[in-house]
Amino acid sequence: MSIAAFRAELGDIPQEDNPRIVQQRSRDHYWYSPVLKAKLDHVTAEVVVSPRSNEEVKTVLRAAFKHGVAITPRGAGTGNYGQAMPLSGGAMLNLMNMDKVLDIKKDRVRAQAGAVLEKLDHETKAAVGGELRFHPSTYRMASLGGFIAGGSGGVGSIRWGGLRALGSILGLKIITCEAEPRELDLVGEDILKVAHAYGTNGIIVEAEMPLTEAHDWIDVMVGFDDFMEAAAFSEKLARQDGILLKELSPCAAPIPEAFFNRHKPYIKEGQSVVLIMVAPVSVEALALFVAHHKGEMLYRADKASDEELKRLPPIYELAWNHTTLRALKVDPSITYLQTRYPTLEHVKKIVDILGDELPMHIEMTRQDGLITYAGLPMVRYTSEERLEEIIRIHEENGCDVFNPHRFTLEEGGMKRTDQKQLEFKKEADPKGILNPGKMIAWENPDFDFSSGKAWLFDGLNPVHAA
């Protein structure tokens, strides 16, 4: 492969080759994981290319195909699994210049991949009173395309489930990496091939998403002396069909007092808290429910002063992976896991076994129609071996783990590749140039789709393209 020949074919498409800047842009939030940090710290692209239109994306992919240059697509780079890390070097395809909102209807929006989620919601709210069903806690930075390619759900998943749910994405436009790149409009089942595929089988350039009614969500923080009470309250609240929530997350002590710096004045020592976003129409019913369950109403944004509202970050920036982020800022030795607890009893078992080594953080979500404890517990990290042990303890106690310390699609357990996906990649990326090293099924022709041990594969093998 020849980067120079590739670059020479890009015309006036913006390029950046200052090594320091390129390395910066070659990073996502992989450093949440000490395991990924050790493995990926050296990774960098050779150039960042920033097309401004579908035609320019085609130009980039045409040249990449011709010269066998690896292409790693990137939105804001807020992922935590190395999704956007260019394992084989080559070119980083920055899509943030393609940020146009293309069409807003009452119940849906079509935008380019680089549209930032908060800005997108801002526009749809103004135009039709609608907003996205859910968004990651990196709402203010993350792009639509990056969310679809590398995310799974977030704030709003307590009501709408996640991106995996049928109907969560209405359509995608991708560009293939071939001698003559094509635009493909994917709808229906085909969407599932490309969603959460890290851009390995086509570059997402547009997406059409459902909108739901926007509310002036009210941030609420409720305190409990005991974490298990906070968790039980959260499940009961999640089951209240009449109370409209967008976020519901119990965080065990000492997380709130130790890491929620600006909210600290509201939190008593040793208190576990439940983070909530509630619609104005439901806030009084929520207050009644909190009183009934002997929770302490620590903070209600609708009763807060202007000064408080100005000083405090939004509650969603304490939740999801922001919880870990806040902890990391205070204590760099902390990392996290992604888990799923079938019942409250499973949560209790794990909390009892692991105690303060695993400060518990749960996101209540809806999955396949069921209220689900999606865990994002912190881990006081000591070694990779102990981390594996903690994972084993989960699994032995009937709790699922989606390992966030792996950078391939399959190893995290979030995306099971299959023959259909593999065939689609053969069509959309015959040279295997797109985000190489991320899809085990592609790299290893003997890959067993049903294997539970996919994580043993070394995804850092050089791209076998061209």
- 160 is an interface residue for a copy of itself by CB under 8 A: yes
- 238 is an interface residue for a copy of itself by CB under 8 A: yes
Where are the alpha helices (H) located in 358-449, listed in sequence order?
384-396, 419-428, 440-443
Binding residues for a copy of itself restricted to 208-227, rule: CB under 8 A: 210-213, 215
Among 240, 333, 382, 451, binds a copy of itself (CB under 8 A): 240
Residues forming beta bridges with residue 373, ordered by sequence position? 341, 364
Q: String of b and e for 218-229 (b: at least 16 CB within 10 Å)?
A: bbbbbbbeebbb
Report, in Å, the least distance between residue 216 CB and a copy of itself. Answer: 9
Please state, in angstroms and rounded to a whole number, the distance separating the CA atoms of residues 332 and 381. 9
Please state, in angstroms and rounded to a whole number, the distance separating the CA atoms of residues 295 and 200. 46
Confirm if 203 and 434 have CB atoms less than 8 A apart: yes
Residues forming beta bridges with residue 339, ordered by sequence position? 375, 401
Confirm if 79 and 409 have CB atoms less than 8 A apart: no
Report, in Å, the least distance between residue 116 CB and a copy of itself. Answer: 22
Nearest 5°: the CA angle 52, 58, 61 is 110
Which residue, chain included where needed, has tokens 């404890």? Answer: 373
- 369 is an interface residue for a copy of itself by CB under 8 A: yes
Among 11, 188, 445, 452, binds a copy of itself (CB under 8 A): 188
Other Cβ atoms closer than 10 A to 7: 18
Beta carbons within 8 Å of 64's beta carbon, 6+ residues apart? 6, 70, 71, 90, 91, 177, 433
Among 142, 195, 205, 244, binds a copy of itself (CB under 8 A): 244
- 168 is an interface residue for a copy of itself by CB under 8 A: yes
Kindly compute the dihedral angle of the four CA atoms of residues 283, 288, 292, 298, in this order, to the nearest 10 degrees: 50
Binding residues for a copy of itself restricted to 337-366, rule: CB under 8 A: 366
Q: Which two tokens stand for residue 132?
A: 């996205």
Phi-psi label, residue 355: left if phi above 0, alpha if psi -120 to 50, beta otherwise: left
Other Cβ atoms closer than 10 A to 287: 18
Report, in Å, the least distance between residue 282 CB and a copy of itself. Answer: 5
Which lies closer to a copy of itself via its Cβ, residue 209 or residue 267? 209
Among 38, 166, 309, 330, binds a copy of itself (CB under 8 A): 166
Which lies closer to a copy of itself via its Cβ, residue 47 or residue 237? 237
Among 368, 385, 396, 446, binds a copy of itself (CB under 8 A): 368
Binding segment for a copy of itself among 7-15, 204-212, 320-328, 334-342 (CB under 8 A)?
204-212
Binding mask 93-132 for a copy of itself (x = CB under 8 A): -------------xxx--------------------xx--
Report, in Å, the least distance between residue 275 CB and a copy of itself. Answer: 19
Which residue, chain included where needed, has tokens 């009084």? Answer: 284
Among 279, 297, 391, 422, binds a copy of itself (CB under 8 A): 279
Report, in Å, the least distance between residue 166 CB and a copy of itself. Answer: 5
- 282 is an interface residue for a copy of itself by CB under 8 A: yes
Cis bond leading into 14, ω under 30°? no
Report, in Å, the least distance between residue 338 CB and a copy of itself. Answer: 19
Q: How many residues bind a copy of itself (CB under 8 A)?
A: 45
Residues in touch with a copy of itself (CB under 8 A):
106-108, 129-130, 133, 159-162, 165-168, 170, 187-189, 210-213, 215, 238-244, 279-282, 284-286, 288-289, 366-371
